[in-house]
Amino acid sequence: MKALFSGIQPTGDIHIGNYFGAIANWVRIQHDYTSFFSIVDLHAITIPYETAEMPRRVMELATALYACGLDLDKTILFVQSEVPGHADLTWIFNTITPLGELERMTQFKDKREQFRATVNVGLLDYPVLQAADILIYKGEVVPVGQDQVQHVEFTREVARHFNSRFGDTFPECEALLTTTPKVLGLDGDAKMSKSRGNTIGVLETPEQIWAKLAPAKTDPARVRRTDPGTPEKCTIWSYHLLVTPEAERAEVHTGCTTAGIGCIDCKKKLHRNLMAVLDPIRNRYADLAGRKPQVRDRLEANAEHCRKVAGDTILEVKGRMGLNRIWKI
């Protein structure tokens, strides 16, 4: 069975962009591969963060991922910093990665502008750590959105550099594109993002979510209730595509284009269908939050397994590079 790796940062509460863009896909494919899913806290510390908040965020994210449907008993979910091999392999890859390849990465250019006052080497080196995350488990499949394909290709290049110099060691991984490439934020202007404050939280209450949906942007052509609209120009319609059954979705589309329903009616239908997806997750989260020791024990057992797998890879890599233990000479 092919190995799969994917990670998510503990940067705050998960939103429906995270869920439909990545996590739901993880849940769907988790048993189709030897899956390694990681809470990538080493990536999270490349930008300013509150040290006291990090442990809580990691634990809450792990609980939320299990609530979303990751198999608590069978699927490997672990905390990145609990496996030292990730950092070890990153340094090794640093020694074979051309600087120019890192400087061309789109994400570094974006982050450099966003965090100009605190830009650090970690931001530049971020893709090398990502490559190490994947290759330390000999990952062959990486589920990503379209905006992360460049990082998968970079990982393939790192594998090629290493294999060319030291012999075949790593596979050239392939991107497994998500079926939901981008979820728009409530502002309708950009991808849903915590930094933009345009999110719908997966664990928010029905009342909190309605308070966000009610004033959300719709098709600007619908100034009056009797004005027909174009659903494809409406952010609310993009959410219907995620959660509303096909037959009801057809009714919503017709109702909008003929002014048969108003925007508030459309939003109420969306709210009902969205809560049908999110209510079970929120309930499972409440249950798992009351079983914190079980979740913590599972994370530790998974980390121990990953340390063994990663350790074997590091020994193989060092052997190929001539970094053998002195008593083996």
**Domains identified in the chain and CATH numbers:** 3-183+292-328 (3.40.50.620), 204-285 (1.10.240.10)
Residues 192 and 16: beta-carbon distance below 8 Å: yes
Q: What is the rounded average pLDDT of the residues 242-254?
A: 96
Contact 259, 227 (CB under 8 A): yes
CA gap 187, 235 in Å, rounded: 8
Q: Is the pLDDT of residue 20 over 90?
A: yes
For residue 262, pLDDT over 90 is answered with yes
Least confident of 62-71, 103-112, 253-262: 103-112
- Residue of 47 and 129 predicted with greater confidence: 129
pLDDT confidence of residue 184:
92
- Among 2, 182, 191, 212, which one carries the catalytic annotation? 191
**Active-site entry in 2, 182, 194, 233:** 194
Q: How confident is the model at residue 114 (pLDDT cuts 50, 70, 90)?
A: low
Burial class of 328 by CB neighbour count within 10 A (0 to 12, 13 to 18, 19+): exposed
Residue 205 has pLDDT above 80, yes or no: yes
pLDDT for position 101: 87
CB neighbour class for 329 (10 Å; exposed up to 12, middle 13-18, buried from 19)? exposed
pLDDT of residue 223: 87
For the question of residue 191 being annotated catalytic, the response is yes
Q: How confident is the model at residue 71 (pLDDT cuts 50, 70, 90)?
A: very high
Residue-wise pLDDT tens digits, 228-239: 989 999 999 999
Long-range contacts of 161-167 (CB under 8 A, 24+ apart): 161/96, 161/97, 162/93, 162/96, 162/317, 165/96, 166/317, 166/320, 166/321, 167/320
pLDDT recorded at residue 146: 80
pLDDT > 90? residue 111: no
Local confidence band at 110 (pLDDT 50, 70, 90 cut-offs):
low
- Quick one: pLDDT at residue 12? 83
Inform me whether the pLDDT recorded for 167 exceeds 60.
yes
* pLDDT mean over 98-120: 74
Provide the pLDDT for residue 221.
87
Read off the pLDDT of each residue in 215-235 and give the average, rounded to a whole number: 91
111 or 140, greater pLDDT: 140
Per annotation, catalytic residue among 2, 74, 109, 111:
111
pLDDT at 171 over 60: yes
pLDDT digits over 144-163, tens only?
Answer: 988 889 999 999 999 999 99
pLDDT for residue 116 is more than 80: no
Identify the three-state secondary structure at position 229: coil
> Is residue 305 a contact partner of residue 76, using CB atoms and an 8 Å limit?
yes
- 327 has a pLDDT exceeding 60: no
pLDDT of residue 92 exceeding 80, the answer is yes
194 in catalytic set: yes
CA distance 91 to 132: 9
Mean pLDDT, the chain, rounded, equals 93
pLDDT per position as a tens digit, 21-47: 999 999 999 999 999 999 999 999 988
178 falls in which pLDDT band (50, 70, 90)?
A: confident
Contact indicator for 44, 8 with CB cutoff of 8 Å = no
